[in-house]
Structure 1
Amino acid sequence: MSNSHLLSLMQTLSLSGMLKTFEAQSEQPQIAALGFEERLSLLLEAEANTRDNKRISRLTKAAKMRQNQAALEDINYHPSRGLDKALIADLSTCQWIDKRQNLVITGATGTGKSWLACAFGKQACRYGYPAIFLTATHLYEQITAATMAGTLPKLRTQLIKSRLLIIDDFGIGGIDIQLGPILLDIIDQHALQGSLIITSQFPTEKWYDLFNDPTVADAILDRVVHKSHFMKLKGESQRKGKLEK
């Protein structure tokens, strides 16, 4: 079988990683010295890597994270920030998502909460977990618009099918009494199959005061706080040094 026919078959079968590697191998005389199994292994590994990268890219794009360049390997571990390397290393395996646990990141404005949430979101995508990033304000706007348009079930389904739902800047402006029950329903259903990352300027002990309905507040806090990992970021604003990490 000629090389041109092999290339045509790879293209027909959408084996782009294998195709690119085969073309590169054709320009390397030393490749001819490899055995069939070894050369085939190189082609298959290239195809697997290409598909994996495409999957990660697709999931990351769909997540619509605010800072899509954020990555755990780029974290700024300055002592003033109070970051726990051991905890981050443990969470980087994403096993907490399999266990349907949550991550709560608190700290003053500018300390890098959103950046860190996006970094964990990207890590989840690397492990194949669908993720959605929303600011709390945008989430409430979507809920309000969907309620008025009669499309709330569709929005709810979209949110709860993600394995990781990231809610950024939780607590800004409080929680409207009409939004509370809907937010509870979304969090309640999402907890059955996924995890949350919530960032907030408010420590969790002050979250109760954000709600106008104490019953809803108790229910949401019970579902989120009691099965969460916690990070409290410290130090000066990272924006001063243009370091969103």
Structure 2
Amino acid sequence: MSLEHTIEHLRCLKLTGMITGLEHQRSQSSYGALGFDQRLGHLVDAEVSQRESQRFKRLIANGRLKVFAEPEAIDHHNGRGLDRSVVADLLTCGWIERQQNVLITGHTGTGKTWLACAFAVQAARNGISIGYRRVGRLLEEMEIAHADGSLPKLRGQLAKTKLLILDDFGLTPLNGRGRADLLELLDDRVGSGATIVAGQMPVKDWHAFIHDPALADAIMDRLIHSSHKLALKGDSLRKARSTKARE
């Protein structure tokens, strides 16, 4: 069988990573000194690497993150309230596998959304499905889903997402249906997924914000249990960057 015929078979089998690896081996004379097992191993590695890259791109696209934040760029400067060891532990993604939550709070511009998205990017690197929603927009979407009958489908999609970011919690007042929908969403995720909740309001004020003692107890129980809390401090990072840019 000719090499071209072999490549055509690989293409039919959708082993494009192996084709790329084979073309690379043909262009590098150094591969001629390697044995069959080693060259085959390099081809398999090329296929695995390409598939992982494609999956990562797909997870990022489906996640619809507000910002693509690379974990390596997390700012640990003094006064921000970030413990390097805590962040390093969260970047292992073990908490996601244990279906735990991360609650990120802080004033406007302190980097809550960026940090949440950085954790999501790290999760995608590990092959974990991710999703991003602003709480106000999501509750509007669920309100529409109630009316057109698509709510079960939407809830199913959210429940299947291994890591879901709920951003801007506390920014929009909750009505009765919103409180109930939020509880159902969080209840569906118990034992099936991890959630990051980000908002300006300190966690201690969330119960009063929900404004319904019974539902607040239920919602907070699902959020607080086995959660990691990050309270960001300091001035607005956006303001600091803007000032630096003008200097």
What's the TM-score, normalizing by structure 1? 0.95
Give the aligned residue type for 2:46: A
Give the aligned residue type for 1:214: P
The answer to whether the aligner puts 1:206 opposite 2:205 as a matched pair is yes
Count matched residues. Answer: 242
What is the CA deviation profile of residues 104-158 of structure 1, one whole-angstrom value per residue up to 9, with x for unaligned ones?
0100000100001011111111112111100111111111111121221111111
**What residue is the counterpart of 2:162 in the other structure?**
163
The answer to whether the aligner puts 1:61 opposite 2:61 as a matched pair is yes
Deviation at 1:242, TM superposition (A): 3.7
What is the CA deviation profile of residues 154-195 of structure 1, one whole-angstrom value per residue up to 9, with x for unaligned ones?
111111111111100101122212211121011101112111
Query: CA separation in 2, counterparts of 1:34 and 1:6?
Result: 20
What is the CA deviation profile of residues 87-109 of structure 1, one whole-angstrom value per residue up to 9, with x for unaligned ones?
11111111111111100010000
Instruction: Map 1:1-245 to 2 at 5 A.
Output: 1-68=1-68, 70-242=69-241
Structure 2, unpaired ranges of 5+: 243-247
Query: CA separation in 2, counterparts of 1:37 and 1:5?
Result: 21
Q: Is the 8 A contact 2:166 2:196 kept in 1?
A: yes
**What residue is the counterpart of 2:245 in the other structure?**
none
Q: Is the 8 A contact 2:167 2:197 kept in 1?
A: yes
Query: CA separation in 2, counterparts of 1:198 and 1:120?
Result: 12
Structure 1, unpaired ranges of 5+: none
Greater Cα offset, 106-115 or 150-159: 150-159
What is the CA deviation profile of residues 195-238 of structure 1, one whole-angstrom value per residue up to 9, with x for unaligned ones?
11000100110001111321101100011012200111111111
Give the aligned residue type for 1:128: G
Query: CA separation in 2, counterparts of 1:14 and 1:241?
Result: 49
Deviation at 1:16, TM superposition (A): 1.1
**What's the Cα RMSD here?**
1.2
What's the TM-score, normalizing by structure 2? 0.95
Which secondary structure state, in structure 2, belongs to the residue aligned with residue 133 of structure 1?
strand
Query: CA separation in 1, counterparts of 2:48 and 2:26?
Result: 20
Q: Is the 8 A contact 2:139 2:181 kept in 1?
A: no
Which secondary structure state, in structure 2, belongs to the residue aligned with residue 134 of structure 1?
strand
Q: Is the 8 A contact 1:124 1:130 kept in 2?
A: yes
Q: Is the 8 A contact 1:165 1:195 kept in 2?
A: yes
Identity of aligned residues (%): 42
Give the aligned residue type for 1:229: H
Which runs of at least 4 in structure 1 moved beyond 3 Å after TM superposition? Answer: none
Which secondary structure state, in structure 2, belongs to the residue aligned with residue 198 of structure 1?
strand
